[in-house]
Structure 1
Amino acid sequence: MSGNHQKYADFIWSVADLLRGDYRQSEYGKVILPFTVLRRIDCVLEPTKKDVLAEKARLKDALLPPRLVEIKLRNASGASFYNTSPLEFGGLGADSDNVARNLRSYIGGFSPGAVEVLEKYRFDEQITRLQESGLLYLVASKFAEIDLHPDVVDNHQMGYVFEELIRKFSEISNETAGEHFTPREVIRLMVNLLMAPDDRDVMTPGIVRPLKKKLRTVLSAV
């Protein structure tokens, strides 16, 4: 992994310093992985967030089936997922007394697929545990410091970051690569996140793109 990729992985891994004492080493992934996914999603959606909120307001009184509303909101977001919460991840730390409530509200604004992925991580349980340990504000603020937008950390780099984090978790848990399990829903979202900026090129009929090495790695885990 090049120094640039390592820089992002090391920054994210530094969150473990905050968890030490309240979490066992083997439990670090329960916090760091879902927060990494959450921050990546937030950064991917940030440029079109206002468009999504405007579309949501426009559709508020429209008598449309839920599926059509979902399609319109996805179109507004320019991705296969969206968030309709007026809150932003980077601003959650501004209200230190209500981080847990605001974080849950923010997560509740995601489209169903993204919410289900975080549920697979049992993320709500970690929010409660972090809050009770006095760590939630610190962890959320730490992740808010890193910009994981695709223009800053491209798909290839993000794949390396995920791979490095999973490798570290496997090592401290004394697991081999084959013993480390990532839920299919998480893999699917990771693929969507890796491919997000290239969705139109990849999905346009008649256009052929070679499968990137990192994407092949992720898909091979399914």
Structure 2
Amino acid sequence: MAVTQQEIENRLWNAADELRVAMPEAQYSSVVFPLMFWKYLSDTWEHNHQEFLAQYDGLDDLSPEEAREIEYRDHQSFEIPFIHAGTVQERRASWSSILATVAQHGLGQRVRASLQAIESANPDKFSRLFGSMTWTQEAVLPGEVLASVMRAMDRSPQMHEGNMSHDVLGGAYEYLLKRFSDGSGTRAGQFFTPREVVELIIELLAPKNHESVYDPTCGSGGMLIAAASLLKARGGRGYSLSLNGQEAVTDTAGVARMNLFMHNLTEFKVEVGDTLRDPRFKKPDGSVKQFDVIVANPPYSLKWKPWTNDPRAIGGVAPQSSADWAFVQHMIASMDPKKGRAGVVLPHGVLFRGGQEAAIRRRVLDGDLLESVIGLPSNLFYSTMIPTCILVFRAPGTKIPERQGGVLFIDASARFTKAKNRNVLTDVDITDVVTAYHSRSDGDGEAGLSARFVPITEIVANGYDLNIGRYIKQTAAEQEDLGTLIDAYNIARAERQKTEQRMLEVLSAAGIEGFDE
């Protein structure tokens, strides 16, 4: 009997909920995802092993070495090895084998040894897959709680292809990602971009068969998976995409790898490291590798160590206080020169902030690299309530003729539905935004959506300010100009700091000390 989506989701959530006595919900993912993937691997290996045994009933004519060679050649795509080989404690590093020992002391150590053994036995597929595994320590997660989680998870259906499709399995994984983010706020939400935002970006960039897709801040891998899923839904071959991602946090990179495997996507690379300081995808000459489609939802206004001499820094170097434009510069450098396009979600500040960011913005606009600015509703994300925007870039000279020499502005800030914890974009909202993006004419704000193509001459006349309210009057009329408000705040703040510094100098000269600077 086929396993339903709701059945697997309920079972897995019940297992996760066993952790409530030991840790906050924001930390559930570090335990549940490695256990879930371990069970998936074990169930798959066991299923394939039974098929092998049935085909070679008895194995009387095969030596152990011959049997192993045939099994791994024809039936298995990865290895589940033994741990403590050659000792009285020898057992296979499988879910069912360790589950049989949950009542014994040292469960966390056996789980850790099993996961490490699987990583070591499959270095090309599973190297560093399970992350740091600190949760296997008794001081972090007591053995009796880990045992309860494993028992509860074991009540979920067998996670192999003969019993459960990858669509169901991948859907269950995404369900847990969303559930953890919904219930725990920013910590879990840091690596989870709402699915509808991901779908919108992918729809705009429209990946095609055999293209390469790259996410420099890939989090849980949702954008890479969405690229393959959309292509498949459009009648294409999602499996033909080359999927590439980089993630700074080791455990989150493991979540991404497991997520991709759960969706039956095996042609991928997920590297670990700081993309701005140490990009891991490079050409032989040391320059950054280039891709057809680049997507990202980087951490907003991240403090960083600015580049001193980096070819990615077109137009200048982003300030230490915000790496927003540095991520954009990296994405631009990563675009294939013939058909590269990029979509990134960022806060509205990138549209109008001055100083070094203004110089970069001017260079990008003068190079006609920015194709579209799309204003999104506020409170879409788990980690922030601020309104965000999508910026779409095209490699130099690759815009369609109607889009050359200007920028398409779309205001979708009023298109949302209120949900329990945040606002959401509906399928209709996404479709309407994509339609406006592909339209050759301006939209008049009907149904809460406005669009206007603005020539570069008008943008230059506005000092290269990209604030949507300057170009779509509906936005300007319905809300105060956010750029003007922030500029006024920054001026007032600088004046206050200057006055405070003068006051401290006067007090110090008078011999009065003890004031905090």
Q: Same fold (TM over 0.5)?
A: yes
> CA, structure 1 residues 221+193, in 2 after alignment: closer, same or farther (shift >3 Å)?
farther
> CA, structure 1 residues 185+44, in 2 after alignment: closer, same or farther (shift >3 Å)?
same
C-alpha separation in 1, matches of 2:70 and 2:254? 23
Contact 2:30 2:135 (8 Å CA) reproduced: yes
1:58 pairs with one of 44, 57, 65: 65
C-alpha separation in 2, matches of 1:6 and 1:166? 15
* 2:335 counterpart residue number: none
Deviates more, 1:108-117 or 1:36-45: 108-117
C-alpha separation in 1, matches of 2:260 and 2:296? 11
* 1:137 counterpart residue number: 147
Map 1:152-163 → 2, pairs under 5 A: 152-163=163-174
* 1:181 counterpart residue number: 219
C-alpha separation in 2, matches of 1:162 and 1:221? 21
C-alpha separation in 1, matches of 2:15 and 2:264? 26
| Structure with higher RCO (Cα < 8 A, 6+ apart) | 1
> CA, structure 1 residues 189+23, in 2 after alignment: closer, same or farther (shift >3 Å)?
closer
Which protein is bigger by CA-based radius of gyration? 2
Map 1:145-156 → 2, pairs under 5 A: 145-146=155-156, 147-156=158-167
C-alpha separation in 2, matches of 1:192 and 1:5? 18
1:94 pairs with one of 89, 97, 100: 100
* 1:82 counterpart residue number: 79
| Deviation string, structure 1 residues 67-96 (Cα, Å, up to 9, x no partner) | xxxx998535532x3211242312323222
Which secondary structure state, in structure 2, belongs to the residue aligned with residue 159 of structure 1?
A: helix
* 1:7 counterpart residue number: 7
After TM superposition, where is structure 1 displaced by more than 4 Å over at least 4 residues in a row? 71-74
Contact 2:22 2:141 (8 Å CA) reproduced: no
Query: Is the aligned partner of 1:42 residue 2:50?
Result: no
Q: For structure 2, which runs of at least 5 residues remain unmatched after alignment?
A: 53-58, 83-90, 195-217, 221-251, 268-294, 298-517
Q: Displacement of 1:165 after TM fit?
A: 0.6
Query: Is the aligned partner of 1:195 residue 2:264?
Result: yes
Q: For structure 1, which runs of at least 5 residues remain unmatched after alignment?
A: 60-70, 203-219
| Deviation string, structure 1 residues 165-209 (Cα, Å, up to 9, x no partner) | 11001111224543893244543443334328xx8xx9xxxxxxx
Which secondary structure state, in structure 2, belongs to the residue aligned with residue 116 of structure 1?
A: coil
1:172 pairs with one of 159, 178, 183: 183
C-alpha separation in 2, matches of 1:184 and 1:104? 18
Query: Is the aligned partner of 1:117 residue 2:129?
Result: yes
C-alpha separation in 1, matches of 2:117 and 2:33? 20
Contact 1:49 1:83 (8 Å CA) reproduced: no
Which secondary structure state, in structure 2, belongs to the residue aligned with residue 167 of structure 1?
A: helix
**Percent identity among equivalent residues?**
14
Q: Structure 1 or 2: larger strand share?
A: 2
C-alpha separation in 2, matches of 1:22 and 1:192? 29
* 2:30 counterpart residue number: 30
Q: Displacement of 1:161 after TM fit?
A: 0.5
Which secondary structure state, in structure 2, belongs to the residue aligned with residue 118 of structure 1?
A: coil
Which secondary structure state, in structure 1, belongs to the residue aligned with residue 22 of structure 2?
A: coil
Contact 1:44 1:150 (8 Å CA) reproduced: yes
Contact 1:48 1:76 (8 Å CA) reproduced: no
Q: Which amino acid aligns with 2:81?
A: T
Q: Which amino acid aligns with 1:116?
A: R
| Deviation string, structure 1 residues 25-79 (Cα, Å, up to 9, x no partner) | 111111112111111111121133476xx99x629xxxxxxxxxxx998535532
C-alpha separation in 1, matches of 2:262 and 2:74? 17
C-alpha separation in 2, matches of 1:43 and 1:133? 23
> CA, structure 1 residues 77+100, in 2 after alignment: closer, same or farther (shift >3 Å)?
farther
Q: Displacement of 1:101 after TM fit?
A: 3.6
C-alpha separation in 2, matches of 1:174 and 1:41? 30
C-alpha separation in 2, matches of 1:186 and 1:221? 17
Q: Which amino acid aligns with 2:193?
A: G
* 1:20 counterpart residue number: 20
Q: TM-score normalized by structure 2?
A: 0.31
Q: Which amino acid aligns with 2:167?
A: H
> CA, structure 1 residues 29+221, in 2 after alignment: closer, same or farther (shift >3 Å)?
farther
* 1:105 counterpart residue number: 113
Contact 1:107 1:115 (8 Å CA) reproduced: no
